[in-house]
Amino acid sequence: MNFKRLAGLFPLLYVASVWAVEPFVIKDIRVEGIQRTEAGTVFSYLPVKVGDTLNDDKATTAIHALFSTGFFKDVSLKAEQDVLIVSVRERPSIAEVEIEGVTDFPKDQLRDNLKHVGLAEGRIFDKSALEKSEQELKRQYVARGKYSVSVKTTITELERNRVGVSFRVLEGEVAKIRQINIVGNKVYSEEELLDMIKLSTPTTFSWMTKNDQYSKPKLSADLETLRTFYLDSGYMEFSIDSTQVSISPDKKDIFITLNITEGPKYTISSVQVAGPQSVFSHEQIRKMVSLQPGDVFSRKAITASTQKITEQFGDEGYAFANVNAVPEIDKEKHQVGFTFMTDPFQRVYIRRVNILGNTKTKDEVIRREFRQMESGWFATEKIKKSKQRIDRLGFFGPTNIETVPVPGTKDQMDLNVSVEEKSTGTLSVGAGISSTEGLTFMGSVSQSNVFGTGNSLSTQINTSEFNRIYSVSYTNPYYTDEGVSRGFDIYNRKTSSTQASVSQYTSESLGGGVRFAVPLSEDQMIHYGLAAEDTTIGLTSLSPQRYSDYINLYGARTINYLGSIGWSRDNRDSALYPTEGTMQRASTEVSLPASSQHYFKLTYQHQWFFPVNRDITFMMNGEAGVAGGYDGQALPFFKNFYAGGVGSVRGYDSYSLGPRDANGYALGGDRRVIGNAELLFPMPGFEKEKSVRLSLFVDGGAVYGEETQSLASMGLRYSTGGALTWFSPVGPIRLSYGIPIGVQEQDKLQRFQFTLGTLF
Reduced 3-state DSSP string for 462-514: EECCCEEEEEEEEEECCCCCCCCEEEEEEEEEEEEHHHCCECCCEEEEEEEEE
Q: Which of 64-78, 163-177, 224-238 has the highest mean pLDDT?
A: 224-238
Helix (H) or strand (E) holding 677: strand 671-682
Of 37 and 239, which is predicted with more confidence? Answer: 239
Res 422: pLDDT: 83
Position 712 pLDDT exceeds 60: no
What is the 3-class SS of 177-245, one letter each residue? EEEEEEECCCCCCHHHHHHHCCCCCCCCCHHHHCCCCCCHHHHHHHHHHHHHHHHHCCCCCCEEEEEEE
SS3 318: coil
Position 102 pLDDT exceeds 50: yes
**Closest by Cα among 297, 293, 295, 185 to 232:** 297
Measuring CA to CA, how many Å separate 27 from each of 14, 52, 56, 62, 68? 22, 8, 17, 16, 25
Position 511 pLDDT exceeds 60: yes
Same domain? For 181 and 278 the reply is no
Dihedral sign, Cα of residue 433, residue 434, residue 435, residue 437: negative
Exposed e or buried b per residue across 489-514, where buried means at least 16 C-beta atoms within 10 angstroms of its C-beta: bebebbbbbeebbbbbbbbbbebbbe
Same domain? For 278 and 193 the reply is no
Q: What percent of the chain has pLDDT over 70?
A: 91
Same domain? For 755 and 609 the reply is yes
Kindly state the average pLDDT of the residues 612-637: 92
* pLDDT band, very low/low/confident/very high, at 688 (cuts 50, 70, 90): low
Judge whether 500 and 437 are in contact, CB under 8 Å.
Answer: yes
SS3 523: coil
Same domain? For 233 and 326 the reply is no
Position 209 pLDDT exceeds 80: no
Position 512 pLDDT exceeds 80: yes
Among 120, 152, 170, which residue terminates a domain?
A: 170
Gap between the Cα atoms of 222 and 206, Å rounded: 17
Kindly state the average pLDDT of the residues 52-56: 83
SS3 263: coil
Res 714: pLDDT: 65
Res 499: pLDDT: 60
**Closest by Cα among 436, 316, 323, 447 to 394:** 447
As beta bridge partners, residue 641 has 669
Among 170, 185, 208, which residue terminates a domain?
A: 170
Of 510 and 160, which is predicted with more confidence? Answer: 510
Same domain? For 250 and 287 the reply is no
Position 439 pLDDT exceeds 60: no
Same domain? For 213 and 338 the reply is no
Position 6 pLDDT exceeds 60: no
Res 309: pLDDT: 95
Res 731: pLDDT: 58
* pLDDT band, very low/low/confident/very high, at 118 (cuts 50, 70, 90): confident
Gap between the Cα atoms of 20 and 14, Å rounded: 10
Of 498 and 1, which is predicted with more confidence? Answer: 498
Q: How many domains does the chain have?
A: 6
Same domain? For 192 and 148 the reply is no
Res 584: pLDDT: 96
Of 469 and 455, which is predicted with more confidence? Answer: 455
107-116 helix and 127-142 helix, angle to the nearest 10 degrees: 130
Same domain? For 503 and 530 the reply is yes
| Average pLDDT over all residues of the chain | 86
Of 234 and 215, which is predicted with more confidence? Answer: 234
pLDDT tens sequence across 278-304: 899 999 999 999 999 999 999 999 999
- Side chain identity at 567, as an amino acid letter? W
Position 88 pLDDT exceeds 90: no
What is the extent of the structural domain holding 60? 3-90
Same domain? For 409 and 437 the reply is no
Res 225: pLDDT: 94
Strands 24-25 and 53-54, how do they pair? antiparallel
**Closest by Cα among 538, 543, 516 to 528:** 516
61-75, 106-120, 434-448, 465-479: least confident range: 434-448
Position 597 pLDDT exceeds 70: yes
CATH number where 392 lies: 3.10.20.310
* pLDDT band, very low/low/confident/very high, at 3 (cuts 50, 70, 90): very low
Same domain? For 252 and 331 the reply is no
Among 226, 261, 296, which residue terminates a domain?
A: 261
DSSP 406: P
Q: What percent of the chain has pLDDT over 90?
A: 47
Kindly state the average pLDDT of the residues 48-71: 83
Res 157: pLDDT: 83
Q: 197: how many CB neighbours lie within 10 A of its CB?
A: 21
Res 283: pLDDT: 93
pLDDT tens sequence across 10-51: 444 444 334 444 788 888 888 887 777 777 878 888 888 888
Kindly state the average pLDDT of the residues 388-402: 87
Gap between the Cα atoms of 364 and 481, Å rounded: 11
Q: 139: how many CB neighbours lie within 10 A of its CB?
A: 11
Same domain? For 500 and 526 the reply is yes
Res 431: pLDDT: 54
Q: Which long-range contacts (CB under 8 A, 24 or more apart) does 482-488 make?
A: 482/519, 483/368, 483/518, 483/519, 484/516, 484/517, 484/518, 484/519, 485/516, 485/517, 486/514, 486/515, 486/516, 487/514, 487/515, 487/516, 488/512, 488/513, 488/514, 488/515
Q: Which of 94-98, 417-421, 464-468 has the highest mean pLDDT?
A: 417-421
Same domain? For 501 and 369 the reply is no
Res 434: pLDDT: 41
Kindly state the average pLDDT of the residues 652-665: 85
